[in-house]
């Protein structure tokens, strides 16, 4: 994820499906981001490797979902998006963005706080607060991209970066493509590796894109979409989020089953792993 002084949105952002809440109970949804370990990292051209001790983490910065507090019924009737969350490396930030350090490794955390238990200071480690983390959402914070494949992935799927696509006027100069011709081979390897895992050998980027578009709204009927004021078109939604299911009974717990949509995200995560960037 890119950090800037004025704050930069996460992309892909986190979006959660929540079920099993008490429909009438009001909840506050809070997201924060915690360091995964105590290392600073560097990119050696192929993978991230530890490079010294981590900077002290800036505590106390969280993102409270703007629609909090809302009832369990409200949170469950649509996916909950955190696309407005912004990251910064400015330790003097006054905007309330989440402060992270560049070249460090982080994991987003979702906290479910019963509203009637909430005081002016939300205690995220309180007994009634349920915290969820998903290893798939781990990321490295940087101020400039280290890996051209991640850059290209974001350009391809972030609608705000459309101007940098190959068919755009501001596309990456051809010389870069030539310089990185070895990356094309690696990308080919990725899809070969994908086919080994049960995907058809003919799968290509376009196909992958289409498959994901097709499944972007699986399980979401038209009324769901109408109800979702933050609903986006399929292209914007594709890869625009790290989509995650939560489920709960009396006590929330992780949903074991995975939807086809989630499989898509996992598949893409797998690609990034193949690339050596996750």
Partner DNA sequence: TCTACTGCCACCTTTGAAACGT
Partner DNA sequence: AACGTTTCAAAGGTGGCAGTAG
Distance of CA 240 to the CA centre of its chain: 7
DSSP state of 112: E
Name residue, tokens 């949903």.
255
- Closest alpha carbon to 4 in 113, 151, 142, 139: 142
Instruction: Tell me whether residue 197 or residue 229 sits nearer to DNA (CB atom).
Output: 229
Q: Which of 74, 134, 217, 232 binds DNA (CB under 7 A)?
A: 232
Report the DSSP beta bridge partners of residue 88. Answer: 4, 99
Q: Which of 42, 46, 186, 214 binds DNA (CB under 7 A)?
A: 42
Segment lying near DNA (by CB under 7 A), choices 73-81, 113-121, 122-130, 147-155: 147-155
Quick check: 210 binds DNA (CB under 7 A)?
A: no
Quick check: 163 binds DNA (CB under 7 A)?
A: yes
Quick check: 231 binds DNA (CB under 7 A)?
A: no
Instruction: Tell me whether residue 22 or residue 67 sits nearer to DNA (CB atom).
Output: 67
* Binding-site string for DNA from residue 85 to residue 114, where x marks contact by CB under 7 A and - marks none: -x--xx-----------xx-----------
Quick check: 176 binds DNA (CB under 7 A)?
A: yes
Quick check: 11 binds DNA (CB under 7 A)?
A: yes
Compute CA distances 240 → 81, 136, 213, 234, whole Å.
Answer: 10, 14, 11, 10
Instruction: Tell me whether residue 75 or residue 241 sits nearer to DNA (CB atom).
Output: 241
- For the bound state, the minimum distance from the C-beta of residue 101 to DNA, rounded and expressed in Å, comes to 7
- What gap in Å lies between CA 26 and CA 122, rounded to an integer? 14
- For the bound state, the minimum distance from the C-beta of residue 85 to DNA, rounded and expressed in Å, comes to 10
- What gap in Å lies between CA 52 and CA 39, rounded to an integer? 6
Segment lying near DNA (by CB under 7 A), choices 111-119, 159-167, 208-216, 219-227: 159-167
From the number of C-beta atoms within 10 Å of its C-beta (0-12, 13-18, 19+), residue 251 rates as exposed
- What gap in Å lies between CA 16 and CA 110, rounded to an integer? 9
- For the bound state, the minimum distance from the C-beta of residue 241 to DNA, rounded and expressed in Å, comes to 12
Which helix (H) or strand (E) covers residue 185, if one does?
A: helix 181-196
Segment lying near DNA (by CB under 7 A), choices 25-33, 84-92, 250-258, 261-269: 84-92
From the number of C-beta atoms within 10 Å of its C-beta (0-12, 13-18, 19+), residue 99 rates as buried
- What residues make contact with DNA under the rule CB under 7 A? 2-5, 8-9, 11, 42-43, 86, 89-90, 102-103, 142-146, 151, 154-155, 158-164, 168-170, 172-173, 176, 232-233, 236
């Amino acid at each position: 994820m890119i950090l800037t002084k004025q704050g930069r949105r996460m992309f892909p952002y986190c979006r959660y499906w929540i079920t099993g809440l008490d429909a009438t109970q009001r909840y506050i949804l809070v997201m924060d981001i915690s360091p995964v370990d105590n290392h600073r990292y560097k990119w050696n051209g192929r993978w991230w490797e530890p490079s010294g001790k981590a900077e002290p983490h800036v505590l106390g910065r969280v993102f409270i979902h703007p629609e909090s507090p809302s009832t369990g019924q409200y949170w469950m009737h649509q996916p909950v998006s955190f696309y407005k969350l912004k990251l910064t490396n400015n330790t003097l930030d006054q905007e309330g963005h989440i402060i992270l350090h560049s070249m460090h490794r982080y994991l987003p955390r979702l906290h479910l706080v019963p509203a009637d238990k909430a005081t002016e200071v939300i205690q995220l480690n309180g007994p009634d607060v349920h915290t969820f983390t998903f290893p798939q959402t781990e990321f490295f914070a940087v101020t400039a991209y280290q890996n051209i494949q991640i850059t290209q992935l974001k350009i391809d799927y972030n609608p705000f970066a459309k101007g940098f696509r190959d068919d755009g006027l501001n596309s990456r100069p051809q010389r870069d493509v030539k310089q990185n011709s070895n990356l094309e081979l690696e990308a080919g390897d990725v899809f070969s590796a994908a086919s080994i895992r049960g995907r058809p050998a003919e799968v290509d980027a376009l196909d992958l894109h289409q498959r994901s578009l097709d499944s972007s709204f699986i399980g979401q009927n038209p009324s769901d979409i109408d109800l979702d004021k933050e609903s986006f078109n399929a292209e914007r939604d594709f890869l625009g989020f790290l989509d995650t299911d939560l489920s709960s009974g009396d006590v929330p717990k992780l949903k074991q089953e995975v939807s086809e949509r989630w499989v898509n995200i996992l598949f893409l995560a797998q690609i990034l792993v193949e690339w050596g960037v996750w």
